[in-house]
Structure formats: structure tokens, C-alpha cells
Amino acid sequence: MSTQTTVQVLRCFDLGGYAASVVDGELKIRGPQPLAGPLPASIKANRERIIDFLVGCCGGVWPPAPGSEFFNVKRSPPPEVSDKQKRFQETLRKAAMTRRARRFERRDILPTASSATANLVRGGK
């Protein structure tokens, strides 16, 4: 099993409500619960990468500091969907609707248990 990447470690910080900062070249982590014992192996193995990323792109802290490169990227609007992607999404939507319609047709064709029982009670087949 390989260690987590920098992105995976930062995602875990987010999910756990932890914050990280680089103080005097050292990685400091704080959160809702203190970390018991030594840092997990994935953080130890990637410590230098995490520090480099935080200092270079996030203003030295996680979550990213306002005005930092990653803060601005994270907050930027999503890219426009191309016409080709829109046509593809529309095709998928139509296919899904067609499958639903076929399912309803089959339901109308096949008698339900209650209608079959009603026919037997009335003397039909």
C-alpha cells in the first residue's frame, strides 16, 4: 500500500476539520481533536511536499489563505461546457427517458397481480 498523495492528505484535513500551517519550516496541524501520537506515515512521508505546496500555493496554511494562488483557483467559476458536451449530455438524458418510457410500457402491458385476481373473482380468465 502506497502513502497518500499531498492532495489526499489535504482532503483528509478538510473532511476532518483540521487546519495545517507551516511555522518556522515545520508542519503544524490542529483541529477538533488533538492528534494522538506521531503523525500518520502518509503525512511523514510527504511532509516536505506538503510544506512546499502550502508555502508555494496556499499562503503557508490550509485551508488556503485569501489571496493565495490556490484560494483563487478553488474559488474560480467552472469552465463553460462546450456545445459538443451539451449535445452528449442531451443524448444521455434522452436515452434515460427512453428507458423509463419502455419500463412504463411494459408495466401497462403486463397484468398486475391485483388485476389478475379481479378477473378470477369476476369469473374471467
Q: In which domain, by residue range, is 111 found?
A: 83-121
Q: What is the pLDDT of residue 1?
A: 59
pTM of the model: 0.52
Let me know whether 67 and 91 are in one domain.
Answer: no
Mark whether 68 and 93 lie in a shared domain. Answer: no
The pLDDT > 90 percentage for the chain reads 6
Number of domains in the chain: 2
- Does residue 18 register a pLDDT over 60? yes
pLDDT in tens, 27-44: 888 888 876 666 666 677
| 87 & 33 share domain | no
**Same domain for 68 and 12:** yes
Residue at 36 is within a domain: yes
Q: Give the C-alpha separation, 88 to 76, whole Å.
A: 25
Alpha-carbon distance values, 17 to 10, 13, 89, 95, 114 (Å): 10, 6, 35, 41, 54
Q: Do 55 and 16 have their domain in common? A: yes
The pLDDT score that the predictor gives to residue 61 is 92
Look at residue 71 and tell me if it is in a domain.
yes
The reported pLDDT for the residue numbered 37 is 67
1 lies in a domain?
A: no
Q: Are residues 67 and 88 in the same domain?
A: no
32 in a structural domain: yes
pLDDT in tens, 75-119: 666 667 778 888 888 888 888 777 766 666 555 555 555 555 555
Final residue of a domain: which of 75, 91, 110? 75
One domain for residues 93 and 44 = no
Residue 99 maps to a domain:
yes
Please indicate, yes or no, whether residues 10 and 50 belong to a single structural domain of this protein. Answer: yes
74 neighbors 64 (Cβ within 8 angstroms): yes
